[in-house]
Amino acid sequence: MVEWKNDLGLEGRMILTMFLLAAVYLFFLAFLSTVMNASAEIMLVFIVLFMGVQYYYSDKLVLWTTNAKVVSETEAPRLHETITRLCVVAGLPKPTVAIVDTSVPNAFATGRGYKSAVVAVTTGLLKRLDQRELEAVLAHELSHVKNRDMAILTIASFISTLAFYIVRYSFYIGSFGSGRRNSNGALIIVWVVSILVWIISFLLIRALSRYREFAADRGAAMITGEPANLISALRKISGTIEKVPAEDLRKMEGMNAFFIIPAVSGSLMNLISTHPTLEKRVAALEKIQREIEL
């Protein structure tokens, strides 16, 4: 079993992100409670209920969203054997294994902890990577499980999503109101505040998402001892995604924060990207490779 070193940078960023998001969300809930004349108790029950549902059923929701199929050892023996071996090295219990039938080459991990963890790969990935590259990608996903960053991302995204839907549907809902000027004015205020909350939380979550990919890349290098294999896999996945039809990519874009390489059908600014650039990831892995060789 490899000697796992906790990533203090990732842990610090997760704590800071949750603290900042908590401050933003408490303000948002207090604001909604005041404007909508709802008691603080009702708002708290609403948030706890929905966060609980999202937290405890996050793995099932992700699998359902991606049409991932849980597979047995009989159905995917090589995949199971590889994950079992890597889990022994990483000191992890074996997660549930799933496959997504899509041409988009990718992989992701989800779940709230070790016992509920799921590692999924796409059929496109299995077809395009050799065994060493596949091991590197699976080690990356197992590093997410080891770092427990999937649960943090799931919790952090909840009220951000709530604010987004308020922005999206507030005027539609408001059209069924009395139409009084005061009501319209309150609705506009709610809409503006919701936009601000969504933008702030969106940027904080994306910043955390980018760093956790660096951390998982380092974890994969620790587990396999071969950063070059992950570099090869990342380059191959990135190059293949560019050739995948835009329609197939759009179907998977909602899962970008979980994927090892984002399935994007257009360019994104670094500030709003879920992942660091390929160049930065390769540079970081090459540095680790040099350190190993010393």
Catalytic center residues? 141
| Strands laid side by side in the 68-70 sheet | 68-70, 96-100, 118-122, 107-110
One-letter amino acid identity for 125? L
SS3 category, 240: helix
User: For residue 26, what are its two tokens?
Assistant: 């408490």
Strands, E assignment, the chain: 68-70, 96-100, 107-110, 118-122
The CB density around residue 223, as the number of other CB atoms within 10 Å, is 26
Q: How far apart are CA 227 and CA 150, in angstroms?
A: 22
- Please list the residues that pair with 110 across neighbouring strands: 118
Q: Which of 122, 100, 129, 144 is nearest to 234 (CA)?
A: 129
Q: How far is CA 125 from CA 31, 135, 136, 236, in A?
A: 46, 12, 12, 10
